[in-house]
Amino acid sequence: MSTHEDVLSSENLPHEPEKATLEGKNKFLGFWFFLGGETVLFASLFGTYLALKNSFGAAEHTTPSQELFGLELVFIMTMLLLTSSLTSVYAMYHMKNHDFKKMMVWLGITVLLGAAFLGLEIYEFYHYVHHYHHTFTSSAFGSAFYTLVGFHGAHVAFGLLWIITLMIRNARRGLNLYNAPKFYVASLYWHFIDVVWVFIFTVVYLMGKVG
């Protein structure tokens, strides 16, 4: 009984608690497998967008991407997401030092930055729909744009819910070998969201602005 408690208590955590158990190792490997699949999934959406970005069909209101996109908002969104990636690195740094409280604080900051990003993205979409009539059904460009960027936004929303759930669920438990892999994997997911965003702001917004 007491040995079991020892293993799970936060004073005796091993180095790299996220990979100390077989379950943790499996989560780690399985999650990277999943990220490989996600890469291909997003590639198919990027490929679709690139192929259809100049297809407006017989749309009544057509606004090409050069006029549509505003770089100020995208720049702020990029900075928010990039910073949230760093704050989740800080969270994992404290996890590896077995400091549960500091990890929770940095995860909380990550969630706030992610929520700000999502809020700006919703505002952006609202702006496009109401001022430019750029909707999901207005043209092939619209469909491809909202599918790609919206799918990324849905990933951000899912990541936020995931991290918040983990924080609430484990708030009173403290850090142990059972939940350390869960926090670690969630932070990997959060970094991957930023990886996808790097290509979205480059390929969709910056290249779209150039033409």
Partner 1 sequence: MAKDTNSNHADQYYKAKKKEEMKHQVITFALMIVFTIIAFGLVIGEFDKLFVFPVLLVLAAVQVGFQFYYFMHMSHKGHEFPALMIYSGIFAAILTILALTTITWV
Give the CA distances from residue 85 to residues 59, 110, 172, 197, in Å, rounded to whole numbers and listed in that order.
39, 7, 25, 11
Q: Smaller CB distance to partner 1: residue 129 or 140?
A: 140
CB of 1 to partner 1, least distance (A): 22
139 close to 57: Cβ distance less than 8 angstroms: yes
* Residue of 9, 26, 97, 165 that binds partner 1 (CB under 8 A): 97
Token pair, residue 187, equals: 């932070």
* Among candidate residues 129, 189, 199, 190, the one with its CA nearest the CA of residue 208: 199
* Residue of 64, 93, 101, 161 that binds partner 1 (CB under 8 A): 93
* Residue of 21, 48, 135, 147 that binds partner 1 (CB under 8 A): 48
191 close to 88: Cβ distance less than 8 angstroms: yes
- CB neighbours of residue 189 within 10 Å: 19
Q: Smaller CB distance to partner 1: residue 35 or 115?
A: 35
* Residue of 23, 43, 169, 171 that binds partner 1 (CB under 8 A): 43
Query: Which phi and psi (to 5°) does residue 52 adopt?
Result: -110, 5
Q: Smaller CB distance to partner 1: residue 23 or 169?
A: 23
Contact positions vs partner 1 (CB under 8 A): 15, 19, 28-29, 32-33, 35-40, 42-44, 46-48, 50-52, 71, 75, 78-79, 82, 85-86, 89, 93, 96-97, 188, 191-192, 194-195, 198-199, 201-203, 206-207, 209-211
